[in-house]
């Protein structure tokens, strides 16, 4: 299978800690891929309107780029990019009329045939690398580190694009076990962080993100792990405001799961980019666990 | 407030159906959506109430509601709906009915310097996509 990597806008700017740790980890695991050299923003959220197709042009154009590189599959690191590309792909595969309209509209592009598989990095680790191979590649298991997986929405909803079941998500816990950490089950692992309401209704985002942190803390987690720059903003960058508002919530490190991957594989600190994390910019909780 | 069949604004219901293929008529008012919604405490009408008001074609009341401007399109309601209704699509239809009249809900020039500095690009793109015309 020939693999393409679609970065998306945030990976090249605010979420370099997600990208650099993931790609270094993937190279260490010996997975070959090409990074798309031409791509555009996917739109960040899937358009839910059925009467308008214009918002499907952006994701579809990216899938055409993958097709032009003669790749069978594309993977993303950002959960929102995954959701937007995967849902657009499902839509045009289920609705030939939509695909025809979009192909006609983008008459300067080759037609999209619908055959590209859209994957998230976690799916790639599970299905292409495999947990056993990952386990055997681990040099510094994250022994005793209690981590609460945070799936958010985009990886697990709706069902046709879910990478693990919405009500019983396991993929990130499986990943954590593979890198030697201890997954902690929190009842809010599949709760939304408030997403773009950080813009529209910041109080709502603060409240639901507070719930995620409170549940993880109650479950005994030392850190949260996630895959989405939007969740990272609401749970990490905005954490000082959450801790200030709810006195029962203590500060908790928030990491991208790919940073755990890089540490466990024994990669150099410069690819982990903890300097971009919030609140813990030195990654001490994580690196202290790696033995 | 008594509602007679004459009060049902059918053209409003038709518009919702045009934007969202989700069938709001199938809703049996069980409230599962409201139970699953992570931001319901910030809403003036619960998702179940919004569905009910649309079933009764109450355009005036639904159009004044803030609920769909608080919805984060997280799809928790949908995946747990026993009638398999795409409720986020209905919320999107309500947003679009307003936005297509050019009524922005957030204004880029009113964002704080801290928001502009700290927020990831996907926050701006997704927020503007869902909350501006």
Q: Note if the pTM is more than 0.95.
A: yes
Whether the bond into A279 is cis, omega within 30 of 0 = yes
The answer to whether residue A126 is domain-embedded is no
Of the residues A97, A121, A145, which one is the last residue of a structural domain? Answer: A121
CA distance to A154, A223, A257, B121, per residue, from A226 (Å): 11, 10, 6, 17
* Judgement on whether residues A116 and A141 belong to the same structural domain of the protein: no
* Judgement on whether residues A77 and A212 belong to the same structural domain of the protein: no
pLDDT of res. B3: 78
CATH number of the structural domain B8-101: 1.10.1060.10
* Region(s) of chain B under CATH 1.10.1060.10: 8-101
Q: Given a cut of 90, is residue B22 above it in pLDDT?
A: no
| CA dist., res. B72 & res. A198, Å (int) | 9
CA distance to A107, B77, B96, per residue, from B85 (Å): 35, 9, 18
Q: How confident is the model at residue B4 (pLDDT cuts 50, 70, 90)?
A: confident
Of the residues A121, A150, A183, which one is the last residue of a structural domain? Answer: A121
* Judgement on whether residues A184 and A76 belong to the same structural domain of the protein: no
Residue range A211-229, pLDDT digits in tens: 999 999 999 999 999 999 9
The answer to whether residue A145 is domain-embedded is yes
* Judgement on whether residues A106 and A15 belong to the same structural domain of the protein: yes
Chain B contact for A84 (CB, 8 A cutoff) = no
CATH number at residue A20: 1.20.1050.140
Probe site for chain B from A19, A45, A47, A48 (most B CB atoms < 10 A): A48
Assembly ipTM: 0.95
pLDDT > 70: percent of chain A: 100
* Judgement on whether residues A141 and A285 belong to the same structural domain of the protein: yes
* Judgement on whether residues A147 and A253 belong to the same structural domain of the protein: yes
* Judgement on whether residues A160 and A283 belong to the same structural domain of the protein: yes
* Judgement on whether residues A63 and A146 belong to the same structural domain of the protein: no
B20/A48 touch (CB, cutoff 8 Å), yes or no: yes
* Judgement on whether residues A75 and A209 belong to the same structural domain of the protein: no
Chain B contact for A88 (CB, 8 A cutoff) = no
Residue range A225-258, pLDDT digits in tens: 999 999 999 999 999 999 999 999 999 999 999 9
Q: How confident is the model at residue B130 (pLDDT cuts 50, 70, 90)?
A: very high
Residue range A53-91, pLDDT digits in tens: 999 999 999 999 999 999 999 999 999 999 999 999 999
* Judgement on whether residues A160 and A280 belong to the same structural domain of the protein: yes
Q: B55 vs chain A: nearest CA distance in angstroms?
A: 19
Burial readout A54-69 (b: 16 or more C-beta within 10 A, e: otherwise): ebbebbbbbbbbbbeb
Q: How confident is the model at residue A190 (pLDDT cuts 50, 70, 90)?
A: very high
* Judgement on whether residues A36 and A148 belong to the same structural domain of the protein: no
Q: Given a cut of 90, is residue A131 above it in pLDDT?
A: yes
CATH number at residue A138: 3.40.50.11810
* Judgement on whether residues A192 and A164 belong to the same structural domain of the protein: yes
pLDDT of res. A98: 97
pLDDT of res. A272: 96
The answer to whether residue A147 is domain-embedded is yes
**Number of folded domains that form chain A:** 2
Structure tokens at A37: 């050299």
Q: How confident is the model at residue B7 (pLDDT cuts 50, 70, 90)?
A: confident
Q: At a CB cut-off of 8 Å and minimum separation 6, what does B114 contact?
A: none
B89/A194 touch (CB, cutoff 8 Å), yes or no: no
Q: Chain A residue closest to B89 (CA)? A: A48
pLDDT of res. A265: 98
| CA dist., res. A143 & res. A145, Å (int) | 6
By residue range, what is the domain housing residue A224?
A: 131-289
């Amino acid at each position: 299978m020939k693999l393409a990597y679609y970065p998306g806008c945030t990976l090249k700017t605010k979420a370099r800690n997600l990208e650099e740790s993931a790609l270094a980890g993937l190279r260490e695991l010996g997975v070959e891929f090409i990074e798309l050299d031409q791509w555009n923003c996917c739109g960040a959220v899937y358009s839910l309107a059925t009467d308008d197709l214009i918002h499907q042009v952006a994701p579809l154009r990216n899938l055409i780029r993958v097709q032009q590189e003669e790749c069978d599959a594309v993977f993303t690191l950002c959960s929102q990019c995954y959701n937007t590309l995967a849902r657009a792909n499902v839509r045009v595969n289920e609705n030939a009329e939509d695909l025809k309209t979009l192909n006609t509209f983008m008459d300067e592009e080759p037609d999209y045939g619908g055959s590209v598989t859209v994957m998230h990095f976690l799916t790639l680790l599970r299905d292409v690398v495999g947990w056993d191979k990952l386990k055997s590649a681990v040099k510094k298991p994250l022994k005793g580190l209690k981590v609460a997986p945070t799936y958010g929405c985009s990886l697990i909803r709706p069902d046709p694009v879910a990478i693990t079941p919405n009500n019983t998500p396991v993929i990130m816990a499986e990943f954590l076990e593979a890198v030697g950490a201890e997954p902690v089950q929190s009842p809010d692992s599949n709760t939304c962080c408030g997403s773009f309401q950080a813009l529209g209704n910041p109080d709502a985002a603060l409240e639901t993100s507070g719930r995620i942190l409170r549940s993880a803390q109650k479950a005994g987690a030392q850190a949260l792990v996630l895959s989405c720059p939007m969740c990272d903003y609401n749970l990490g960058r905005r954490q000082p405001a959450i801790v200030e508002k709810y006195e029962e919530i203590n500060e908790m490190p928030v990491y991208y799961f790919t940073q755990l991957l890089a540490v466990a594989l024994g990669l150099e600190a410069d690819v982990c980019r903890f300097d971009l994390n919030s609140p813990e910019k030195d990654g001490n909780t994580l690196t202290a666990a790696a033995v | 407030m008594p509602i007679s069949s004459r009060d049902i604004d059918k053209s409003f219901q038709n518009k919702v159906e045009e934007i969202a293929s989700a069938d709001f008529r199938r809703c049996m008012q069980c409230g599962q959506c409201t139970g699953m919604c992570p931001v319901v405490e910030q809403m003036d009408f619960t998702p179940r109430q919004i569905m009910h008001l649309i079933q009764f074609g109450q355009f005036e009341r639904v159009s004044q509601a803030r609920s769909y401007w608080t919805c984060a399109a997280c799809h928790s309601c949908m995946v747990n709906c026993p009638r398999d209704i795409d409720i986020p699509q209905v919320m999107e239809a309500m947003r679009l009915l307003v936005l297509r009249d050019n009524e922005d809900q957030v204004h880029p020039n009113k964002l704080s310097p801290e928001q502009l500095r700290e927020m990831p690009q996907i926050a701006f793109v997704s927020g503007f996509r869902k909350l501006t015309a």
